[in-house]
Structure 1
C-alpha cells in the first residue's frame, strides 16, 4: 500500500492490514517514509485510533524493525519498568539499581523528554561522561556486571520507534494511546524482557490527565504485552503534583543520589518506587507477592546495596566513580537561584503540574523542537507538595536559572501554577490502583 493511501485510509476511519502497517514501519525505519508522512500517520492515528489487532501489528513491526536481544545464562530474571512520563519522575534512577540489588537484571531502554515531561536520558546526560548510547556489547556487559544499565535506544533496537518518537514530541500526537502502547512495548519486546511493570500517570502533570484515560492506557499496555508473551502489570499513580522535590535534569539526579544514600527520601517518591519494585520482584519470581517484594526492596535500599549498584552502573557507563560521594563536584549548577514565595502564607491546595513542567522547558531544561539542546543545570528544587505549608521561610519552590530574567519569568509561572489557601486539604494516595489488563 502506498504511504499516502495508508494515511488516507486511517484518516477516513479504515482498518489497516498488518502487512500494510509492517510496510509503513519498515519505511519509517529506512527513511523512505518522509517526516511529513510519518507525522500525518501519527495524527491520523491520534484522531481515529487503532483496534487491538492494528495495535498489536504496529507494536510487533516496530519491535522487529531492529535487533531483538536474547539474554542467556543470567542467574536471575530480566525485568524492567516504564513510566508514561511525569514532572519530576526520576524513579528509574533508583528503581533499576534496587531491583538489581535484589537479584534481577534490568536492561532499561529509556527515552528523552516528551512534551512537558522530563526524560530519563536527559537526566543521565547531566552526569559527566555517562554514555546513554553505548554499543550493544557494552550495554549487555554492563547489565551482566552491575545488574542494570539505563540507556537510550541504539540504532539496532526498534529504530522505527526511535524516529517516530521524536516526531510525536513536536507534532502534538504524544497522547495517542495506540502510539504510546506501540512505542513503549516495541522497545521492551526488543530488550528481551521476562517481566514488565508499567507506571501509568494520572493527573494534571500526566499525558493522560483523566483517571479513566489512564486506566484505559494501563489496560491497553498490559493486554497488548500479555498477548505478546511479556508478563505485565500496571500501576496507576498520581501526577497531580511534582514527584519528589525537583524538576530538572541535574537537580533530579542529585535528588536520586540523596534518595539512594538515605540523605533525603520524599515520602510519595519512596512509595511509588517501592510499589513498583515490589511488583517487579514478584513478576520475576524473586518474591512471593508484591508485598514481599516491597520488603526485599526496602532492605536493599536500607543497607546500601542499591546505592552500590547505581554507582557501579554509572562508572561502567563512563560516569564518575565517586558520584555518590561527591555529587556537587560533578553535576552542573545554574548561576541564579531564586526562591518563589507565595503572596500570603497558607497551604498548597492545588498544583498545575503541567505548567511547572512547561516552566522547566522555558528555562531551557527541555526541548521545543526535537533538535534543541538542553541546559542540564536549570529547573525547580524544594518544590512544595499538596497540603504542605508555605510562606515565611518556606517558599513554594526554588528556581535554578541561567539568568535573572529567566528566573523572574519562571518564578511568575510557578506562582500561577501553585494555588495556596488557608485550609489544608486531604491528599490522595501516590499509588492509585493496580491494573492487569484483559487476558486473551
Structure 2
C-alpha cells in the first residue's frame, strides 16, 4: 500500500481477520489521492459476517505539535477546507483497527489518512476505499426432476422457487426421484443424510418421504463439505382410494383466478385436486378446490384402472364429481359439464340437471383474445362481447399441461 508521496500515518499494510481472502485488485480513480481496493472473500464467509481490518502504518505516533496528526480516521473532509478546522473530530475517530459488517455478502469501508493539518484537504490526506464481496461461484442447479410415479403440482416452482409439491398415489409413503443437474461437480444430501455423488451423466436418484399431510424433504447440493444450495420437495399422498391417477390437461380461462390471481391461487390448483379434500372451506395451494374459470375452462383426469359401469354400486352411481358448494341464494351459479371417454378420442357428455330442458343452449362457442395489456376480451356466437379489464389471459408458464401453440397464446375458441 506504499504511496511514495506520503509518510506519517499512511497505511503500510492491512491484514484481515474473520474471513478468507481469495483475490484482490487495486485501482486509482479520478481523484489523485484516492486508492480503491477490491477484495474478494472466500465463499465460506457468512453473508453477514463481521471482519476486522488491522492497519500497520509508516508512523504509528501522534504528532501533537501538528494537532494530533497524523491519524487514520473514518471522518472525511469537505473539499477546500483546511484540516485544522476539524482536526478534533478526525482525532476522535482515529483507529488502527476497524470492524466492518457484511450485508448479503458485501460491504464498503472508507478510511482517511491525514499527514498535515496546515494545508488544504486534497493535499493532506489519502482516501482509501475498501470494497468487499464474497466469491461468486456458479451453483450446481437442478435441470430436471422425474418421479417414479406421481405428478408435480407445479414443476416449474422447483427451478424458480427451489420449492415444489408432489402428489403421490394413495397409500404410498416414499418415492424415488431422478434428478438431472447442470454439472457433476457436487454431492447431494437428502434431509441432512450422508451426501452421495452425482453420476458422470449428471444424474442422481434419491428417495423422498411422503404422507397425506405432506412431508417436506430437503435436497442439499454440497461442494467441498459446504452446502451450496437447498431445494425443498414436499410430497403429499392421496387421502382416499379411487381418485384419478393424473391430470393430463388443465386450463382456467376468463376468470379472476386465471394465472393465480384473485383472493387465492385457485386458478393454479388443477393437479392439487388429485390429493382429495374434505375441507368445507378453501385450503392451501396444495389442496382443492381448483377453478376452471369461465366457459371453456376445463380439467382432464386419467384413470389407470378404468371406471366400471357397475349396477351393484349404490343407486347405480359409478363416480362422483364435486363442485363448489353454493348455499342457494342465487348470488352466483357455477354450472359444469362432465364428459367421459374410454380412449381419449371419443367423448360422451353426461346429462346434467338442465340437459333436456328447452332452455339449454347447444353448440355454444366463445372466443377469448389477449389484449395488449395482458387482459382478456371475448365474443360469442350469439352476438355478445365484452372486455374483462381485471381478468388476465392465461399464460403458458402457469398451464404447462395445455397444448399451447403460438396462435393460442393470443386467442382461443
TM-score bracket relative to the smaller structure: under 0.3
By percentage of residues, which structure has more helix?
Answer: 1
For CA contacts below 8 A with separation 6 or more, give which structure has more relative contact order.
1
Structure that is richer in strand per residue? 2
